[in-house]
């Protein structure tokens, strides 16, 4: 172990759409977590690893805090609880544009206050979207509910405050060995990353209730047999209604082509080569309440 090397797990939590994934991507400099302006984009815990000569921070990106209405929602809530159980530091994110502190946020801050084994940092996100004088009441209100080690206003898009976040985390981490090799930035498999990229494009191109009822299953993933040839990927986009299927395919298949083209470009950056991506759309009624389908799509609880 390197002398004075620090390491630990940092759970990133908060209500839906506060910018957890965007912040993690900005802190690590990698597009590890998918992002979308739509709530509940993140569905399961995902690790993003930042390693330097002096420290290794293992960020745990978690689903947004919400009241579950499906078995998938229940899985997401349990994922947050499991991440809070196994960390040295908790980053609690609050959207500056939310203004007045909601009852849900008050209750969660009180829950954080009861967690004694982890240090807590309050991160106020999206500060570029509000007047600076509106920050003080938010900070005062949240700080009265939980003892935070630090309060940091940030703008992930403008990279404002990011270095402060990392510096404050490192202060709170214990000395210890790295948990992962230096060149590892995530523990997600390439198949998982590809499925998430496809779902990200569905979120980007579709509206209303369609994104929440969509899942992506990688049916086949074949690496190129010869240098210069393409990786072949077959994937199915699951939805819950025939009307959603029509929206996802689009007139003359244009929407599906648009989703596929955008996803293929990002996947090519991941695999560092050409990709032949084929997409299908299948209706699977109420799949978010099917234990079998949730397991097939990787939404299963950690042992």
- Tell me the two tokens of residue 172: 């709170």
Give the dihedral of Cα atoms 210, 101, 156, 123; nearest 10 deg: -130
* pLDDT < 50: residue spans in the chain: 303
Positive or negative torsion for Cα 41, 43, 49, 50: positive
| 46-51 sheet: strands from edge to edge | 46-51, 55-61, 6-14, 89-95, 119-125, 150-153
Beta strands per DSSP E along 197-283: 215-222, 231-239, 275-283
Instruction: Using the 3D structure, point to which of 130, 146, 172 is the last residue of a domain.
Output: 172
* Claim to verify: residue 168 and residue 199 sit in the same structural domain: no
- Tell me the two tokens of residue 73: 């929602």
pLDDT at 303: 46
* Claim to verify: residue 89 and residue 63 sit in the same structural domain: yes
Task: Return the exposure string of 13-48: e unless at least 16 CB atoms fall within 10 Å of the residue's CB, then b.
Answer: bbbbbbbbbbbbbbbbeeebbbbbebebbbbbbbbb
Helix (H, G, I), strand (E, B), or coil: what is residue 221?
strand
Task: Return the exposure string of 105-129: e unless at least 16 CB atoms fall within 10 Å of the residue's CB, then b.
Answer: beebbeebeeeeebbbbbbbbbbee
Nearest 5°: CA angle at 140, between 137 and 146? 140
Helix (H, G, I), strand (E, B), or coil: what is residue 45?
coil
Q: How far apart are CA 288 and CA 293, in angstroms?
A: 7
pTM for the model stands at 0.84
Which CATH number is 147's domain given?
A: 3.40.50.300
Q: What is the pLDDT of residues 175-234, one digit of tens each?
A: 999 999 999 999 888 999 999 999 999 988 987 667 678 999 999 999 998 888 999 999
* Claim to verify: residue 72 and residue 221 sit in the same structural domain: no
* Claim to verify: residue 69 and residue 161 sit in the same structural domain: yes
The answer as to whether 220 is a domain residue is yes
Distance from chain centroid for Cα 303? 21
Helix (H, G, I), strand (E, B), or coil: what is residue 287?
helix
Supply the DSSP symbol for 128.
Answer: G
* Claim to verify: residue 135 and residue 48 sit in the same structural domain: yes
* Claim to verify: residue 146 and residue 233 sit in the same structural domain: no
| Domain range enclosing 108 | 6-172
| Element containing residue 242 per DSSP (H, E) | helix 242-249
pLDDT at 178: 93
* Claim to verify: residue 271 and residue 161 sit in the same structural domain: no
Which CATH number is 199's domain given?
A: 3.30.300.20
The answer to whether 83 touches 115, Cβ cutoff 8 Å, is: no
The answer as to whether 301 is a domain residue is no
pLDDT at 219: 96
Number of domains in the chain: 2
- Tell me the two tokens of residue 148: 């935070």
| Element containing residue 166 per DSSP (H, E) | helix 162-172
The answer as to whether 178 is a domain residue is no
């Amino acid at each position: 172990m390197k002398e004075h090397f620090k390491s630990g797990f940092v759970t990133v939590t908060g209500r839906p759409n506060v910018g957890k994934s965007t912040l993690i991507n900005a802190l690590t400099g990698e597009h590890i977590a998918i992002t979308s302006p739509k709530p509940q984009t993140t569905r399961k815990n995902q690790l993003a690893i930042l390693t330097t000569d002096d420290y290794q921070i293992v960020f745990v990106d978690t689903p947004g805090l919400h009241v579950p209405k499906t078995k998938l929602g229940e899985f997401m809530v349990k994922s947050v609880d499991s991440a809070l159980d196994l960390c040295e530091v908790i980053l609690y994110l609050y959207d500056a544009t939310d203004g007045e502190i909601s009852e849900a946020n008050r209750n969660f801050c009180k829950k954080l206050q009861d967690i004694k084994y982890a240090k807590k940092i309050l991160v106020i996100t999206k500060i570029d979207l509000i007047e600076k004088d509106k920050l003080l009441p938010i900070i005062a209100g949240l700080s009265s509910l939980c003892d935070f080690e630090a309060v940091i206003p940030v703008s992930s898009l403008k990279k404002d405050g990011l270095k402060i976040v990392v510096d404050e985390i490192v202060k709170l981490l214990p000395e210890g060995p790295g948990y992962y090799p230096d060149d590892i930035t995530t523990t997600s498999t390439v198949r998982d990353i590809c499925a998430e990229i496809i779902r990200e494009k569905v979120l980007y191109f579709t509206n209303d209730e369609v994104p929440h009822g969509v899942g992506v299953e990688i049916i086949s993933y074949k690496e190129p047999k010869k240098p210069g040839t393409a990786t072949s990927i077959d994937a199915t986009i699951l939805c819950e209604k025939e009307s959603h299927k029509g929206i996802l395919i689009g007139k003359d298949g244009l929407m599906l082509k648009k989703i596929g083209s955008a996803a293929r470009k990002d996947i090519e950056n991941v695999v560092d080569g050409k990709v032949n991506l084929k997409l299908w759309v299948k209706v699977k009624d109420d799949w978010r309440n099917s234990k079998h389908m949730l397991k097939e799509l990787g939404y299963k609880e950690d042992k």
